[in-house]
Amino acid sequence: MIAPARRAAYEVVRRVFEDEAYADRAFAAAAAGLDARDRALAQRIAYGTVQRVRTLDHAIEALGRRPVRKLDPPVRAALRIGAYQLAYLEGVPARAAANESVELVRAARLERAVAFTNAVMRRLAEGIRPLLGSLPEGPLKHSYPDWVAEVWERDLGRDEALALMRAQNEPAETVVRVVRGEVEGEPTDVPGAVRVARVDERALAEGRIWPQSRASQLAGLAVGSREGERVLDLCAAPGGKATMLRGEVVAVELHDGRARELEENVRRLGATNVRVVHADALALPPELTGFDRALVDAPCSGLGVLAQRPDLRWRAKPLPELQLALLRAAAERVRPGGTIVYAVCTINADENEAVVDASGLEVDASLTGEWRRYRHRRRPGFFLTLPHRDRTSGFFVARLRV
């Protein structure tokens, strides 16, 4: 018999790597109906396997003596989740991990692969931890694409790059923004941001809280909007930052589904000052102009939120051309003397300070007067939060003057 948690984790891993599904969406479908305990275990196995897949595949190939790419997909997924449990979970009996991986292959009607799976799982049980322990520090050991490790080493130096890799393989802190009422938890240095043991689903459904990292909330606060001002949010979905802003807010979203989600979240959070516009930020209606402030929370490679999104490291791409185009589009819609906050949840100078430099806009260095601990070390006029240093997601934030 296959435990429900392992079956759900197996389904997620298959969907992510065979269908290019997003891990969170695949998990929501696979874990429907599980109780809280099974759901937590399924998520840990599924997300951990997706996150550590490069390292796991190395171990499977080294000990199984067969290229992972040549394995049948059900066998590959079963070995991956089995290897993850053996390597990274404490208290999981090796026999249980091995037997259930074998049963998953049998359930896929691949009887011819059962003996192979059983043999590889036995070798993994004996050898995976010594093998992984002997790997040199770097992207193979910590399961990152080489290009990500190279960017971080270039920008931060080797020691910090390694610390960042380790940090983003650990669970991120759970922080909510208090929209109204009281929330049980630990206040933080960011106003309205409370660290909690778990997200209260009832409070979320009622619009009293919004799950949002300290760094993300810092980006929203950096806009500094006030009552009576007109504010443009160019890439607004799902709405966490848009609903933080004061004044008359126009929240723009291109994609149909995300625009609907944005509208729903604006209603739920009671942000009556926010008007959603379904449009392309690079081709806005002409009447949307003369704003006092703008927020450009641009699409990016997401290298600052890899702890929260286990599959992102395998699909991430830098987007500096799009980011620069969005920043310039915002500058055309903000009045002279107005300000733009440029924010991206990535740790990559090519998408961060290089985009600001290319824009030609004046940097408003007064941004970093508050929350000095988050200042960019090399460019102190900007914020750069780092997961290994600040224990929150990685965000770059700049405030620019038109």
Catalytic positions, please? Answer: 345
Q: Is 209 helix (H, G, I), strand (E, B) or coil?
A: strand
For residue 183, give both structure tokens: 């929330």
- Interatomic CA distance for residues 282 and 267, integer angstroms: 26
DSSP of 118-176: HHHHHHHHHHHHHHHHTSPTTHHHHT--HHHHHHHHHHH-HHHHHHHHHHTTSPPPPEE
Assess contact for 124 and 115: CB atoms under 8 A.
no
Assess contact for 341 and 398: CB atoms under 8 A.
yes
Length of the chain: 402
Assess contact for 51 and 308: CB atoms under 8 A.
no
For residue 124, give both structure tokens: 């993994």
Chain mean position to CA 3:
28
Chain mean position to CA 102:
32
Alpha carbons within 13 angstroms on the beta-carbon side of residue 43 total: 16
Among 219, 175, 252, 237, residue whose Cα is nearest residue 344: 219
Beta strand 291-297 with 230-233 is parallel
Assess contact for 331 and 138: CB atoms under 8 A.
no
Per residue in 12-22, is it b (16+ CB within 10 Å) or e — as a string? bbbbbbeeebe
Per residue in 37-74, is it b (16+ CB within 10 Å) or e — as a string? ebbebbbbbbbbbbbbbbbbbbbbbebbeeebeebeeb
